[in-house]
Structure 1
Amino acid sequence: MEVDSNLVHDCKQEEDVERKGRKSSEQCRNRISKVSIIIAIIPILQIFMGWRYSQACPINKLIPHYSIVAGTVALLLVILISITQLITRVFGKTVFDDNVDRRNPNRATMFVGCGICSIMCINLSLFIFLLGWSVTGLVWVIDAWYRVQYIHAEKNDYCHPILYQFTFAILLITTLLKVLFFCIFCKKTCVKMAMTKRRDTITSEDG
């Protein structure tokens, strides 16, 4: 009887763990969806602004085109990053649940790994393009900074104030975020290198 009660207790614990795992997975998916929606607002606004004022910036007709291209690429990047997160956090945990994959895990591992690797390569390419495109857009906007006017729409030095100021603000914000991201990445990399070096030193001393 005592053995049976222990088995029942163990089964209940396993069920609780599985239930908590499913709950955390659902919460993770919800968080990813909310964050993706919030981040996607900026690219959607960029596309709308570029389309809405495509003929309203004669001082540099490339500024609205910059906004459209930047918004499209950024939106695609957000979608692909969200897909990558969903694959790694959800599909990656359930892919080994069936008996076939338990007997032959390499097939599932290669499937998930190749998919994630391909998407990450595309993400990296889009990010590099977006970085260069942002620099180009910044040059165009700053070049018109001292010459632009917002009153006489028929003149060649005119640009719609909403388009120009929105584009400048988005460029400024995204540039600061990229610098912040780069600093955080460098900090984490330096910390990891320091910890690895310290671990190697301790190992060599123990040896």
Structure 2
Amino acid sequence: MNISTIEMRDASKERAPPYVQEKPPSYDSFYGKIKHARDTSDGKIDFLKEAMKIAGASVGFIVCLGLALAIPIACIVIGVRYLDDCPLERFIPIYLVVSGSATILPMLLKICMSCITMFSSDQDESDSWFACSAYTVVMLLGCFLLSWYIAGNVWVYSNYDDLSTNSTSENYCHPTAYYFSFWLFTSAYILAGCSCVVSCICWCFSLCQ
């Protein structure tokens, strides 16, 4: 073997890029946390619970929750604006104001809890106390909102046939206030129905596997 061949081999070795071993996904990332939960969960139900906790502490969830604040804010604005413009059922604009105000607080608490979970690696005693207090407030407001939601359904749907857009009529209610309330309830039922259908389909696929 001559000297030129040896020199060419040495040069090719020097030009070869070093081997870099690929690192596994970090558990600090969203994908890593989901993968870790899937590997350590005791079943599909347990994995679903852990995945919901991880998603609830993600940046995307906080952003979506912040955008969703537009709905209760719109309820408050429309309810205050047309508070005296619904003799058909005076509780319809009141419903909008109360439900919007009672919905904003638990949403803000959920954003705060998600931020604490996301930015604090080790929760101290004060964080645990805040989370327990926040969950208690959310549960109490949830019970109130459920009862208030049922009452709102009665006020809106029971007066649908009697609605008049004539401002001089006793059955008058401003169209913006009434139809906003009507479609608020109707959209909630549509979304609930779609969620049930998707959940049933996913459940059937999981049983077939």
Deviation at 1:32, TM superposition (A): 3.9
Q: State percent identity of aligned pairs.
A: 25
**Matches of 2:141 and 2:93 in 1, distance apart?**
20
Q: Which residue is 1:174 aligned to?
A: 188
Are positions 1:165 and 2:179 aligned together?
yes
1:26-105 pair list within 5 angstroms: 30-91=59-120, 93-95=121-123
Note the residue ranges of structure 1 that are not aligned, 5 or more in a row: 1-12, 96-107, 189-207
Contact 1:59–1:144 under 8 Å retained in 2: yes
The one-letter amino acid of 1:135's match is I
| Structure 1 residues 85 and 58: alpha-carbon distance in aligned structure 2, compared to 1, 3 A threshold | same
Deviation at 1:89, TM superposition (A): 2.2
Q: Which has the higher helix share?
A: 1
| Structure 1 residues 66 and 20: alpha-carbon distance in aligned structure 2, compared to 1, 3 A threshold | closer
Deviation at 1:20, TM superposition (A): 6.6
Note the residue ranges of structure 2 that are not aligned, 5 or more in a row: 1-22, 34-56, 203-209
Are positions 1:156 and 2:170 aligned together?
yes
Contact 1:87–1:116 under 8 Å retained in 2: no
| Structure 1 residues 173 and 18: alpha-carbon distance in aligned structure 2, compared to 1, 3 A threshold | closer
Deviation at 1:173, TM superposition (A): 2.2
**Matches of 1:29 and 1:128 in 2, distance apart?**
26
**Matches of 1:122 and 1:186 in 2, distance apart?**
32
Q: Residues 71-91 of structure 1: CA distance to partner in whole angstroms, max 9, x if unpaired? A: 111111211111111122222
**Matches of 1:114 and 1:90 in 2, distance apart?**
17
Q: Which residue is 1:191 aligned to?
A: none
Contact 2:79–2:93 under 8 Å retained in 1: yes
The one-letter amino acid of 1:137's match is G
Contact 2:156–2:178 under 8 Å retained in 1: yes
RMSD value, Cα? 3.4
**Matches of 2:97 and 2:87 in 1, distance apart?**
16
**Matches of 1:57 and 1:159 in 2, distance apart?**
4
Q: Which residue is 1:143 aligned to?
A: 158
| Structure 1 residues 31 and 181: alpha-carbon distance in aligned structure 2, compared to 1, 3 A threshold | same
Which consecutive segments of 4 or more residues in structure 1 shift more than 3 A? 17-21, 175-188
Q: Residues 139-191 of structure 1: CA distance to partner in whole angstroms, max 9, x if unpaired? A: 001111111111x2021100111111110111222344467778999999xxx
**Matches of 2:200 and 2:100 in 1, distance apart?**
27
Q: How many pairs were matched up?
A: 157
